Amino acid sequence: MEEFLTEDVKVKLSDVEGVGERIKRRLIDFFGSEEEALNAILEGRIAEIGNVPGIGIGKAYTIVRRARELVEGVRWDEVLKTEGIKRIYEDTLKLIQEYAQTDYAKHKLRLLWPYPASKIEKALERLRAFSEAKNMIEGSDDAAINCVLSALRRVRPLRKGELKGKIKGRAVITRDEDEYKRLKDAGVDRYCTTFLISEGERLIDYAEGYDLVIYVGEGVDEYAENLVTAPRKWSVEDVVPEAAIWFYSANYDVINAVCELSSAISLLPEVESLKDLVEKLDRNTLDRVRELLSYITEKGEVAEGVNQELDRYRVALRGLNEAVAEVEAWVNEEIRGRLAESEARLRGEQIIRILEEASSSAFEAGRLRSYLPPEVNDVIFSTINEAEKKFYQSLGLSEKEVLWLEGLFPDEPALPVSMNPRKISELETWLRRQQALRSYRVLREVARELSGYRRKVEEAVYTALEFDLYFAVGCFARDYELNTPRIVEGAGVFFKKGKNLFLKRMELEGKERVVPVNYVIGDVGARPEGTNGERVVILSGANSGGKTTLIQLIAQVCLLAQMGLPVPAEEAIVGPFEEIYFFEKAAGMLSAGALETTLKRFAAIASNPTPKLALFDEIEAMTESGAAAVIIAGLLDLLEAQKDTCVVVISHLAKEIVSLTEGRVRVDGIAASGLDENFNLIVDRNPRFNYLARSTPELILKKLYQLSGGEEKKVFGEILKKLESSPFR
């Protein structure tokens, strides 16, 4: 297929960046056609594409991502403008990926990236579905959720499951040249030895060398117990049922898991976005598939208990050699024992010796019976008759079934008694044919039905993999207390009782509970007391008070909302951005080269009028504090002048920066009020709007003063006195 139409965008395989002629050929060879290869890429089947020789998971992800970018007209990093914000995005995705049960969903979650404000309608479509996923999980009991998870853990992409090699002991025969051509065209000769025979040749001569022979065509006037005739309008399933069944046996556990999932989903609350999924996981069909799967094994054989006669012959064939050994041992021991106790005129020991010599020498055994007393012959042959019955019974066979089998034991007396190897071989052949015939008949009936379900099964497995992503987001949203944000025009973010995801992860691991916080930046219709829609904010406050985790939370809320996912807050309003920046805390004063690079980046941001969210974490460490305050003030003025741009700067130079700015800048603060009985900072994690909070180094010094002793205590005491009396405090 040359083109694939999706979302009104025509895409060809060669349009996808990273797919050259060599990769294109490998994809087509693996998937069978360009259409199927393109389907796999556009559906995001990363793990499957990664199995293509010479591609691998990393390359597969890149190919799928490039194709998705091409179709949606949005690059994965279009919103993510710095390494800092990319790191928050990746770390957030990892939290969600922990909830996925399949590699498929883990990989595909990486294809959820934030949409810019200009394409936010795509995120809104996704948000409706994922919000319902969260509601569905919250409305489910643990038993239902565990049933779904148990099934999902066993789901993976389907293997091709093609029968390889020829079936031993089976031949397909026809006298019709057209039928022979049909057999070849259908590929039957790949699975079975196939013959075109002339009118003069006998079918039974061919049947002699095989366990099962299937005749295709008209006019069968010969009979053999291992000869069956295919229907006039035959299919491959009629001739080689294993070809259809092998797909199911190769994917046995996966298909069973999907059948279980279709039942488990019925235990969940009904939601609108799941309707299509539930239809594709057709429970009636999958229940029947599951029943049919119980008739076969993972090796593609008929399961035990499906056909009693087949089981009987199968057990007999498996136990044949052991039965021969046991019966031979029994009959010889029994004859010896009975003859040793014999009251014949010859002493028992002599009789045994004669029989043993007769067995091993050139003595005419046929004359031996006339020399032996009648009671000796009676002992021998009555014991042999018992042995025959014991033999058939041990194999589960009736004497009527094997009337044709004569001469299983020798007609003349001899010790030890040995069963006739040729007759045992004939019995083995007969058992194999009985097994092959009955196994074929069961497999044929199962294959005829299963072959009609294959497309639905393939769709159901793909749907189950997609459902894992949906379910993972729902479980993540429940555990991390996410809720649906309201998306509005304009730029900014407001949230109530927000919780930083990285801290929430620690809480879920049993560590300190997260204190929920409220915040607003920009004008999105919510104006808590002390705010007036300001788009530029300086965040001041105590060391270790939670300033960094707050701006991380701002980033998380905006990223998840623009990805079309619920956000970590009880309530949230988001005016989406075209770009998001996050500048991490500088480790120390930058070198001249690093400072130059940083200033160039600031200039690029300030000169770009695109609506954006810019978050800065204590960037004043880039140079001396006086110069840093001037640089930051200038940057804030330029950004404040840009409509729909929002900025939050964490800084201990808030007072100095505000004195240098000309635009409207709000200062918020996270305040520390003292030390508790363990000398830990008492901090109100909720920022106060329009409030300059001190970094409280005196509290840190007080803590050190209280916990130290000797000369160190004197040092901390002197520094504390100077700080408390300082005019800069």
DSSP H helices, 418-486, are 421-479
Ramachandran category for residue 483: left, alpha or beta (phi over 0 → left; psi -120 to 50 → alpha): beta
d(CA 366, CA 370): 8
228's tokens = 């069956």
DSSP string, 92-120: HHHHHHTT-SSHHHHHHHTT--PPPGGGH
CB within 8 A of 79, min separation 6: which ones?
113, 114, 115, 116, 559, 562, 577, 578, 579, 580
Would you state the pLDDT for residue 3?
33
Determine contact, residues 671/654, Cβ cutoff 8 Å: no
Sign, CA dihedral 313-315-317-322, equals negative
Would you state the pLDDT for residue 4?
35
DSSP H helices, 153-282, are 177-185, 188-191, 203-207, 236-239, 241-250, 252-265, 275-280
d(CA 691, CA 706): 29
Determine contact, residues 547/650, Cβ cutoff 8 Å: yes
CB within 8 A of 554, min separation 6: which ones?
493, 519, 521, 613, 615, 648
Helix (H, G, I), strand (E, B) or coil at 212: strand
d(CA 558, CA 173): 69
Helix axes 142-152, 421-479, angle to 10 degrees: 130
Determine contact, residues 493/575, Cβ cutoff 8 Å: yes
Between β-strands 193-196 and 212-215, what pairing exists: parallel, antiparallel or unpaired? unpaired
Determine contact, residues 616/584, Cβ cutoff 8 Å: no
d(CA 30, CA 160): 10
Taking alpha carbons only, the member of 224, 221, 250 closest to residue 163 is 250
CA distances, 678 to each of 363, 542, 717 (Å)? 108, 18, 19
Three-state SS annotation for 343-378: CCCCCHHHHHHHHHHHHHCCCCHHHHHHHCCHHHHH
Would you state the pLDDT for residue 663?
86
Determine contact, residues 237/451, Cβ cutoff 8 Å: yes
Helix (H, G, I), strand (E, B) or coil at 415: coil
Q: Which residue has the tokens 């229940």?
A: 287
CB within 8 A of 31, min separation 6: which ones?
37, 39, 40
d(CA 70, CA 494): 33
Determine contact, residues 314/437, Cβ cutoff 8 Å: no
d(CA 339, CA 4): 88
In 542-689 the beta strands, taken as DSSP E runs, fall at 571-575, 579-583, 612-617, 646-650, 666-670, 672-675, 681-683
Residues of the chain with pLDDT under 70: 1-9, 342-373, 586-594, 673-683, 695-703, 705, 720, 722-729
Residue 330 CB neighbours (<10 A)? 17
Determine contact, residues 172/188, Cβ cutoff 8 Å: yes
Q: Which residues pair with 487 in a beta bridge?
A: 574
Taking alpha carbons only, the member of 332, 331, 335 closest to residue 372 is 335
Sign, CA dihedral 66-69-74-80, equals negative
Between β-strands 536-541 and 571-575, what pairing exists: parallel, antiparallel or unpaired? unpaired
Q: Which residues pair with 196 in a beta bridge?
A: 174
Residue 564 CB neighbours (<10 A)? 23
712's tokens = 């160190």
Q: Which residues pair with 541 in a beta bridge?
A: 670
427's tokens = 């019995």
Omega cis (within 30) before 416: yes
Would you state the pLDDT for residue 652?
85
d(CA 559, CA 565): 9
Between β-strands 486-487 and 571-575, what pairing exists: parallel, antiparallel or unpaired? parallel
DSSP string, 261-328: HHHHHTTSPP-GGGHHHHHHS-HHHHHHHHHHHTTB-TTSSBPTTS-HHHHHHHHHHHTHHHHHHHHH
Helix (H, G, I), strand (E, B) or coil at 674: strand
229's tokens = 């005739």
Q: Supply φ then ψ for residue 268, to 5 degrees.
A: -90, 155
CA distances, 522 to each of 119, 535, 554, 644, 645 (Å)? 20, 4, 12, 8, 8
How buried is 120 (Cβ within 10 angstroms: 0-12 exposed, 13-18 middle, 19+ buried)? buried
Q: Which residue has the tokens 């010094």?
A: 701
Would you state the pLDDT for residue 357?
63
Would you state the pLDDT for residue 606?
86
Would you state the pLDDT for residue 595?
72
Would you state the pLDDT for residue 9?
56
CA distances, 573 to each of 120, 493, 561 (Å)? 14, 6, 9
Would you state the pLDDT for residue 608?
86
25's tokens = 């050929």
420's tokens = 């006739």
Helix (H) or strand (E) holding 170: strand 170-174
d(CA 273, CA 230): 47
